[in-house]
């Protein structure tokens, strides 16, 4: 079964955010729940449309499209995530003449109300994690029929064949898509350097140069791309870096709080319950959130390797737990809830 980068989440959804983002609490401004790799410097930009494209024989086939909607796009240290609350707007009725106009107004009102009812409590979400990121492109507005847009390339293994896809986001005309793409590629390259220390020298050099990649200058009505030196196919197992070499810290690692325990063995920080279209043999390894105590067991030492990714089986660990006070998911080994501070033991 192929991977759909976009999905619809509700607040009642259980599971994890490996393949698709989870929703945050209503009290938090960000719609999407952040994880340990997102860091603190989350940049937000609003997009007006999203498309999922598949590259087939040199042509682009649109798999999904949402236009004229408000999409909150989050650029983090670990991924590009998006959330759209009003993905189903309804409306679209047109009338001519007095009576026609009245009918159209009424029909639009009913249609919009029905659409609101259909999507109540549900949000369209999606993300491209940086291990999956194959390329980042931008196109600038040059004329009436064009628009500012970015494209993120990724790939997946489907029925033996590799399928290459693009996530395209249309941006408002006063936003510089090339700058957005530059920010994404800088962060993705930094992520690779931080969490994949065993890259080949060539990949390391390419990633280092991408950290200082200049702003793209796309030709009119076309896209220009930055290409990552290596990438993983989209699976739950490749969403996060594997266990790091000792001493490799996350970019946003914070010093341990006075009450926090010493870092445990790597196997104590585990994500369970990966949700994926295809079954994943064992869960990936993942550290706690950025606001939690730093852990020297932070993973990240998996070599990206050649295109095609690696099939690894990180060690499993203890189950995910939830705070009894606020219900926030916690990582086994934490003594305090990262959100409300309640003691977990």
Partner 1 sequence: MSAVGWIIIILNIALAVDAGRRPASDWAAADRNKAFWVVLLAFLGIVAFVPYVIGVLPRLAEAGRVSRGSPFEKRSAGSFGKR
Q: How far is CA 193 from the centre of its chain?
A: 19
Cα radius of gyration rounded to whole Å, the chain: 21
Scanning 62-70, 230-238, 312-320, 326-334 for contacts with partner 1 by CB under 8 A, the matching segment is 62-70
Rounded to an integer, what distance in angstroms lies between the CA atom of residue 199 and that of residue 218?
Answer: 30
Residue 119: strand pairing partners: none
Distance of closest approach, residue 46 Cβ to partner 1, in angstroms: 5
Task: Pick one of 47, 244, 271, 290: the residue that binds partner 1 (CB under 8 A).
Answer: 47
Site for partner 1 in 16-45 (CB under 8 A): 43, 45
Q: Pseudo-torsion of CA 34, 38, 43, 47, nearest 10°?
A: -60
Rounded to an integer, what distance in angstroms lies between the CA atom of residue 235 and that of residue 193?
Answer: 21
Task: Pick one of 175, 213, 254, 272: the residue that binds partner 1 (CB under 8 A).
Answer: 175
Rounded to an integer, what distance in angstroms lies between the CA atom of residue 291 and that of residue 245?
Answer: 22
Q: Is 116 in the site for partner 1 (CB under 8 A)?
A: no
Scanning 1-9, 20-28, 130-138, 173-181 for contacts with partner 1 by CB under 8 A, the matching segment is 173-181
Site for partner 1 in 298-327 (CB under 8 A): none
> If phi over 0 gives left and psi between -120 and 50 gives alpha, with beta otherwise, what is residue 118?
alpha
Scanning 108-116, 158-166, 168-176, 195-203 for contacts with partner 1 by CB under 8 A, the matching segment is 168-176
Describe the crossing of helices 177-195 and 201-211 by its angle, rounded to 10 degrees.
140
Rounded to an integer, what distance in angstroms lies between the CA atom of residue 189 and that of residue 300?
Answer: 14
Rounded to an integer, what distance in angstroms lies between the CA atom of residue 223 and that of residue 77?
Answer: 24
Q: Is 139 in the site for partner 1 (CB under 8 A)?
A: no
Task: Pick one of 8, 179, 206, 326: the residue that binds partner 1 (CB under 8 A).
Answer: 179
Task: Pick one of 12, 26, 68, 258: the residue that binds partner 1 (CB under 8 A).
Answer: 68
Scanning 34-42, 68-76, 99-107, 131-139 for contacts with partner 1 by CB under 8 A, the matching segment is 68-76
Q: Is 180 in the site for partner 1 (CB under 8 A)?
A: yes
- Given the rule CB under 8 A, which residues bind partner 1? 43, 45-48, 68-70, 86, 171-176, 179-180, 183, 215
């Amino acid at each position: 079964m192929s991977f759909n980068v976009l999905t619809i989440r509700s607040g009642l959804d259980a599971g994890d955010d490996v393949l698709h983002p989870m929703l945050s609490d209503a009290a938090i401004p960000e719609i999407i729940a952040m994880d340990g790799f997102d860091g603190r410097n989350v940049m937000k930009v609003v997009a007006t449309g999203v498309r999922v494209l598949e590259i087939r024989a040199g042509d682009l086939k649109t798999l999904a499209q949402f236009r004229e909607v408000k999409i909150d796009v989050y650029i983090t240290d670990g991924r590009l995530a998006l959330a759209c609350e009003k993905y189903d707007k309804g409306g679209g009725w047109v009338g001519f003449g007095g009576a026609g106009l009245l009918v159209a107004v009424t029909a639009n009102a009913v249609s919009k109300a029905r659409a609101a009812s259909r999507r109540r409590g549900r949000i369209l979400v999606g993300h491209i994690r940086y291990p999956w990121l194959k390329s980042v492109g931008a196109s600038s507005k040059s004329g009436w029929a064009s628009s500012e847009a970015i494209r993120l390339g990724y790939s997946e293994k489907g029925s033996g064949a590799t399928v290459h896809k693009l996530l395209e986001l249309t941006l408002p005309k006063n936003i510089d898509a090339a700058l957005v793409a530059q920010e994404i590629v800088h962060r993705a390259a930094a992520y690779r350097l931080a969490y994949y220390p065993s890259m080949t020298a060539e990949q390391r050099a390419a990633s280092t140069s991408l950290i200082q990649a200049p702003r793209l200058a796309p030709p009119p009505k076309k896209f220009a791309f930055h290409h990552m030196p290596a990438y993983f196919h989209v699976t739950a197992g490749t969403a996060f870096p594997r266990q790091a070499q000792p001493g490799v810290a996350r970019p946003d690692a914070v010093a341990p709080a006075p009450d926090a325990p010493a870092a445990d063995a790597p196997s104590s920080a585990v994500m369970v319950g990966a949700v994926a279209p295809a079954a994943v043999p064992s869960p990936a390894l993942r550290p706690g959130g950025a606001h939690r105590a730093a852990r020297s067991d932070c993973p990240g030492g998996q070599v990206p390797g050649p295109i095609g990714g690696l099939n690894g089986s990180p060690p499993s660990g203890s189950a995910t737990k939830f705070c009894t006070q606020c219900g926030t998911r916690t990582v086994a080994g934490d003594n305090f809830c990262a959100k409300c501070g309640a003691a977990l033991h």
